């Protein structure tokens, strides 16, 4: 599962790579899909090269093997990268992109042909327009070729479930409310190291670029590059998604000189938010109120931004006891913002992280007044989950960014 090409189309390539967050599903029930959150080293032993992927227990062992009391019991449960829906969507997005690049080339070439014949002393506006169209056509052709190569690669190497084998469920904890009243719903997938190209493996880096919806792909790739507001250039020429600074640094004066993400729109994950900071967050949102500003990338909604600023008691996930879970809010619905919905079905298991890459918590589900969207997203804080991981896997720790 290697990344191919020059990374000019990261949103299209990302689903077929082990780049966080991962879209995953059990091999035997590929239509029950979820998300992989973070990579772990399962011990401190240097000779132990096992890599674990943390997700939810109800993702690695969905309803067909769910047993009363929140316990999971089944033979070895293999897990694949990209369940049925996620794979079909990812391939469909490549096809849509190819079609729209063809459309772009045809119409830009027509616009170029409609310009007056080039002659000495022509108006500067005409010369500038001709150069702009030529650059756009050249870019579209290059990206069309790369997308076609990606489509060929994917159809040759990823069409069977076996070709997308990721690993197996090493341990799935009982879904229960702990003594601290938090809901624990976690599972560790042991990765098959033979399936990972370690030379290309990015480790714990979260993709924070555009999600995989058609509208976002069009805004990211189909808009004229010279006026496209999807990117901002910062120190060193790194292109940063406009949404990143809009939501994670809403106050201009808070924005760092150097972006925390790289040119492939990957955010390195290091450390975690402490309990003390949970109780007294220091980020300031667009209303100048304190909150933990957060980002996640999940199987269904891709990259979304929100604020962690509340604690709720809910009864869910097969437990009969109320559990404390932190609430992640999207942005206000009155501004008609796509980030009003922070998560949806299939995003369970993904990790919510702070703008500096520290882990905030594991997304375990959501709910709301409408049946077709989750107005609330719930997470279990990582500082609590880490204690459970340490008990089961002594010496377990977050995989280094550059493993």
pLDDT above 50: residue 195? yes
**Mean of all residue pLDDT scores within the chain:** 81
pLDDT above 90: residue 23? yes
Band the pLDDT of 249: cuts 50, 70, 90: confident
pLDDT above 50: residue 4? no
Q: Which residues contact 170 (CB under 8 A, 6 or more apart)?
A: 42, 52, 188, 189, 190
**Average pLDDT of span 64-87:** 72
pLDDT above 80: residue 317? no
For 331-390, what is each residue's pLDDT tens digit?
654 444 555 678 888 999 999 999 999 999 999 987 554 444 546 788 999 999 999 999
Query: Hey, how many other C-beta atoms are within 10 angstroms of the C-beta on 253?
Result: 5
Spatial separation of the C-alpha atoms in residues 22 and 80, rounded to whole Å: 10
Among the ranges given (3-7, 233-237, 358-362, 369-373), the one the predictor scored with the smallest mean pLDDT: 3-7
Spatial separation of the C-alpha atoms in residues 357 and 302, rounded to whole Å: 17
* Residue 212 confidence (pLDDT): 45
Band the pLDDT of 260: cuts 50, 70, 90: confident
SS3 189: strand
Q: Which residues contact 244 (CB under 8 A, 6 or more apart)?
A: 208, 259, 261, 295
Strands 239-241 and 302-314: unpaired
For 216-229, what is each residue's pLDDT tens digit?
444 444 443 333 44
Determine whether domain 10-84+162-398 maps to CATH 3.40.50.920.
Answer: no
DSSP 59: H
**Residue for token digits 């492939």?**
264
Q: Which residue has the higher pLDDT, 235 or 394?
A: 394
* Residue 354 confidence (pLDDT): 95
Spatial separation of the C-alpha atoms in residues 228 and 231, rounded to whole Å: 7
Quote the pTM value. Answer: 0.85
pLDDT above 60: residue 149? yes
């Amino acid at each position: 599962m290697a990344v191919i090409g020059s990374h000019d189309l990261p949103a299209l390539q990302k689903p077929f790579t082990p780049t966080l967050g991962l879209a995953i599903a059990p091999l035997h029930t590929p239509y029950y899909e979820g998300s992989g959150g973070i990579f772990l080293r399962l011990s401190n032993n240097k000779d132990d090269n096992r890599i674990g992927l943390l997700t939810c227990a109800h993702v690695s062992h969905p309803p067909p093997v769910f047993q009363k009391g929140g316990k999971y019991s089944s033979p070895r449960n293999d897990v694949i990268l990209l369940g049925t829906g996620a794979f079909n969507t990812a391939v469909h997005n490549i096809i849509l992109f190819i079609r729209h690049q063809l459309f772009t080339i045809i119409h830009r070439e027509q616009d170029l042909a409609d310009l007056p014949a080039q002659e000495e002393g022509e108006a500067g506006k005409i010369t500038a327009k001709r150069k702009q169209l030529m650059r756009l056509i050249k870019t579209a052709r290059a990206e069309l070729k790369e997308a076609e190569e990606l489509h060929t690669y994917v159809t040759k190497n990823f069409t069977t479930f076996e070709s997308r084998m990721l690993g197996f469920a090493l341990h799935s904890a009982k879904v229960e409310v702990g003594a601290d009243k938090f809901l624990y719903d976690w599972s560790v997938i042991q990765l098959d190291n033979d399936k990972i190209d370690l030379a290309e493996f990015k480790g714990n880096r979260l993709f924070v670029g555009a999600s995989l919806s058609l509208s976002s792909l069009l805004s990211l790739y189909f808009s004229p590059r010279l006026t496209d507001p999807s990117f901002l250039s910062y120190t060193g020429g790194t292109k940063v998604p406009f949404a990143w600074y809009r939501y994670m640094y809403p106050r201009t004066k808070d924005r760092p000189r150097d972006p925390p993400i790289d040119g492939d729109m990957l955010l390195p994950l290091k450390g975690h938010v402490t309990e003390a900071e949970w109780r007294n967050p220091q980020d300031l949102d667009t209303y100048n109120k304190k909150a933990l500003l957060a980002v996640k990338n999940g199987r269904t909604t891709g990259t979304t931004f929100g604020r962690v600023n509340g604690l709720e008691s809910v009864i869910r996930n097969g437990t009969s006891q109320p559990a404390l879970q932190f609430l992640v809010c999207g942005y206000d619905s009155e501004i008609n913002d796509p980030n009003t919905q922070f998560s949806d079905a299939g995003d369970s298991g993904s990790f919510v992280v702070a703008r500096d890459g520290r882990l905030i918590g594991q997304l375990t589900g959501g709910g709301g007044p409408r049946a077709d969207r989750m107005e609330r997203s719930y997470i279990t804080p990582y500082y609590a989950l880490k204690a459970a991981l340490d008990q089961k896997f002594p010496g377990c720790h977050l995989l280094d960014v550059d493993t």
